[in-house]
Structure 1
Amino acid sequence: MTKSDGKPSFACYHTHMEEAVGSWQQEGRISLWRYRKAPKMYHGWHFTADQEGCASLIELFGILSSATSPTHRTISLTGPQEVEADRIFGNHDFRLDVPAKLRLANDLDESGSIGLAADAFVMPLRSEDITNFSDAVRDISVDHADFGVSFGSNDTIIKFWWWPKKR
C-alpha cells in the first residue's frame, strides 16, 4: 500500500516491521549468566556470543531500532558451561544463574524494567540501549571484549566477553 505521494503508508510499514521481526531467525550461540555469591569483580551479568550469534543479534537490533511499535523477540541461550564461557577468569566453583531465554524488546515509552522473570532475562531496550548493545556485540565479533555497558533506567550492567576459543 502506498499513499498518493508514492510513499508507503504507515499500515504498510507497520506490517513490514511485523514481518521482519516475525521472519528473523536466530543463528549461532549466545550465552548470558551471572555468578552467585562471587567476589566483586565477577558481579553482574555476563554476555558472549559466537560469530553467527553476533551477526544474528546485529540483524535483530536493526529491526528493533527501526520498529515504530512495541515489538520483541525471545531467543534461546546456550549455557555458558557448555562452551566454558564462564571460565574466562579461570577455573572456579561458583554456582551460576543461567536463564534459558533472552527476551529483547524495544522500549518505546522507556518504562520497562530489565531483569530475570521466570526462565527468561527480559531486556526492554531504549533506543540508545539498542545502539549500545549492537555496538557491544560488534566489538565481541572482532574479539574486542572485557568491558561493561549500562542498560535501562535501572542501570543494569552487562559485561561483554569474547567467545571461548575452539568452541
Structure 2
Amino acid sequence: MKRSHAWQQHGTVSLWRYRENLRNYPGWHIGADADGCASMLALLDALALDGPGATRTLQLSPPSPAQLAVPNNRDARWDAPATLRLTVDEDVAFWQWDVDGARATLQLGDAAMGSLRQGVVDIAAGRGDYSLGQGTQALWFWWG
C-alpha cells in the first residue's frame, strides 16, 4: 500500500493568489497553522517515498486576516482554491501549477520536493517572506 494513501489531513492550510499588485506579489502564496504544517510535511514525506505518480489532495481554507496581514498587500483582492492536488511527476523539471476553478494542481519534480518541504518547515518556524519559482509559477511562504 502506498504511504500517501494512509495520510490524513490535520490543521489548516491556505493557498491564494492576488488579483492586484502582481509586480510585487506574483504567483501563489501559502500559509498554514502548526498542525497544517506537520500534516503537509507528513504528506510530502509519504509522496517522496511513493515516488512518481503518487498524488493526494489537500483541503484548503481561505487565508485568514492574520495571514493576509503578513505580506501586507493592502486591500488587494485575492482568489483561493478549495483544494490543492499534489502530484509527483519525474518529467517536471521543478514544479508546474495548473488551476481549474476551485481546484489547484501542483506537479512536483524531484528538485521541488525538498524545496517545498523546506518552505513548510520555515512556515512552521515563523519564517518566510520569500518565494520559489518565477512569475505565475512562484510560491511564496508566509507564517501567520
Interval of TM-score (by shorter of Structure 1 and Structure 2): 0.7 to 0.9
Instruction: Choose the corresponding residue for 1:59, options 20, 38, 42.
Output: 42
Please say if residues 131 and 139 of structure 2, whose CA atoms lie closer than 8 Å, have aligned partners that are also in contact. Answer: yes
Q: Is residue 105 of structure 1 aligned with residue 91 of structure 2? A: no
Give the TM-score, by structure 2 length: 0.88
Give the aligned residue type for 1:100.
Answer: A
1:43-79 CA-to-partner distances (Å, cap 9, x unmatched) read 2211111111111111111111111441211111110
Give the aligned residue type for 2:69.
Answer: R
Cα RMSD after superposing both structures: 2.2
Q: Which runs of 5+ in 2 are unaligned?
A: none
Following superposition, the deviation at residue 124 of structure 1 comes to 0.7
Other-structure match for 2:98? 115
Q: Measured at CA, do residues 106 and 33 of structure 1 come closer, stay the same or move farther in structure 2, by a change above 3 Å?
A: same
Number of residues of Structure 1 aligned to a counterpart in Structure 2: 143
Give the aligned residue type for 1:98.
Answer: A
Give the aligned residue type for 1:43.
Answer: P
Identity of aligned residues (%): 31
Give the aligned residue type for 1:156.
Answer: Q
Instruction: Choose the corresponding residue for 2:120, options 111, 116, 137.
Output: 137
Q: Which moved more, 1:37-46 or 1:20-29?
A: 37-46
Instruction: Choose the corresponding residue for 1:38, options 16, 21, 25.
Output: 21
Please say if residues 71 and 142 of structure 2, whose CA atoms lie closer than 8 Å, have aligned partners that are also in contact. Answer: no
Q: Is residue 70 of structure 1 aligned with residue 36 of structure 2? A: no
**Counterpart Cα distance in 2 of 1:70 and 1:21:** 11
Please say if residues 28 and 136 of structure 2, whose CA atoms lie closer than 8 Å, have aligned partners that are also in contact. Answer: no
Q: Which runs of 5+ in 1 are unaligned?
A: 1-14
Higher relative contact order (CA 8 A, sep 6+): 2
Give the TM-score, by structure 1 length: 0.77
1:120-149 CA-to-partner distances (Å, cap 9, x unmatched) read 110010111111100110111111111111
Counterpart secondary structure, 2:9 = coil
Other-structure match for 1:159? 140
